[in-house]
Amino acid sequence: MDHFLYRGGVLCAEDVPLTEIAAEVGTPFYCYSTATLERHYRLFDEALAGMDHLVCYAMKAASNQAILRTLAALGAGMDVVSGGEYARAIAAGVPGDRIVFSGVGKTREEMRVALIGGIRQFNVESEPELRALSEVAASLGLRAPITIRINPDVDARTHAKIATGKSENKFGIPIARARAVYAEAASLPGIEVVGIDVHIGSQLTDLEPFRLAYRKVADLTGVLRADGHDIRRLDLGGGLGIPYTRSNEAPPLPMDYGAMIREELGHLGCEIEIEPGRLIVGNAGVLVSAVIYVKEGEGRDFLILDAAMNDLIRPAMYDAHHDIVPVIEPAPGGEQRPYDVVGPVCESGDTFARGRQMPAVAAGDLVAFRSAGAYGAVMSSEYNTRPLIPEVLVNGRDFAVIRARPSFDEMINRDTIPEWL
């Protein structure tokens, strides 16, 4: 469910017509719904009610300060994967003891900053990282709380570029080596073992891969406790998918996911952490774009938009599908036409959809890409010297620009000319 609905013939974000936002900020722009963000966070929180738990929002999905503050106000923790994301979380008012630091390539400086600023735990991904973290923590007179990310060799049945739990993926430590690595962790002076971490991928639409991975985590918990480790926290990662098309079978609900966690892990008495990102913010955002031209091609029509692959890279990178709908509601039963929906960037890959059946549109019309809140703005770039597009947050009848569009002068003036030029 989201809060983008047609009202009076116009697609609205909560109580604000998208045409009103477009008139004020121009196109293209991203628009997020506060009500949807809050609802989706609460679905996860309620799914784990009665269990000791923390929902850590995976910031990589969308990291604008306004989004982080909205979720932090509800009690969310944050899952960060870089020093920059850690700084964003702190700037948004999230205390260090609610921040989990993930990622395969943490630098010693990132470790130092997080240890000094406060951290709930590091999710360690390799032996070299473990040793480096111990050295950094010991040099500060601290012990770093850690989980070790195990790779359970479970097929997440998702896109190859977002699968993380198979043996050939770069993430985590093979589960067969877990006992030896935990033994080493326990021997290091700057390390405090607090639990186990697992994350098998993103956009999962079936609970069975989760179940298989979590059963391996449950077995490993018993083995490690028998070895003398105080396993009191299980970080289960994120990855629950969202429906990108209205016709698709709906992925499992957070409530079903929570019930499965109880069934597989509830008997262990561990605190549960989950790291949802896409399901919290994905359907909470749309990308609004204007039609520049409708171009007749050889055997096909092109819908040329003012949004491009630098604004929304997912279709070019993952062959991802987004429903694209007119902002002005089409008449019921109106004619549908096939369009290749493209942007103005000088790349054939700058294509959002091929042969997409849509109501007829004309130059100047607005269209909205649904379910664009996750991995949209955060993955955008200034390719072709195209400005990063505005982000807008709606709250009921109010809206605010939460990231402004830079001018060309602002973009160009970031360059520095060497003195010999």
69's CB contacts (< 8 A; 6+ apart) are 92, 93
What three-state secondary structure class fits 411?
helix
Cβ-based neighbours of 93, under 8 Å, separated by 6 or more: 69, 72
- Strand 144-151 to 191-197 pairing: parallel
Catalytic choice (12, 31, 270, 346): 346
Residue located via tokens 């709930």? 120
Contact 285, 299 (CB under 8 A): no
Residue 56 among the catalytic residues: no
* 277-306 exposure pattern, b = at least 16 Cβ within 10 A, e = fewer: bbbbbbbbbbbbbbbbebeeeeeeeebbbb
Burial 239-248 (b: 16+ CB within 10 A, else e): bbbbbbeeee
Say how far apart CA 221 and CA 240 lie, in whole Å.
23
> In whole angstroms, what is the distance from residue 155 CA to residue 226 CA?
28
Instruction: Write out the catalytic residue numbers.
Output: 346
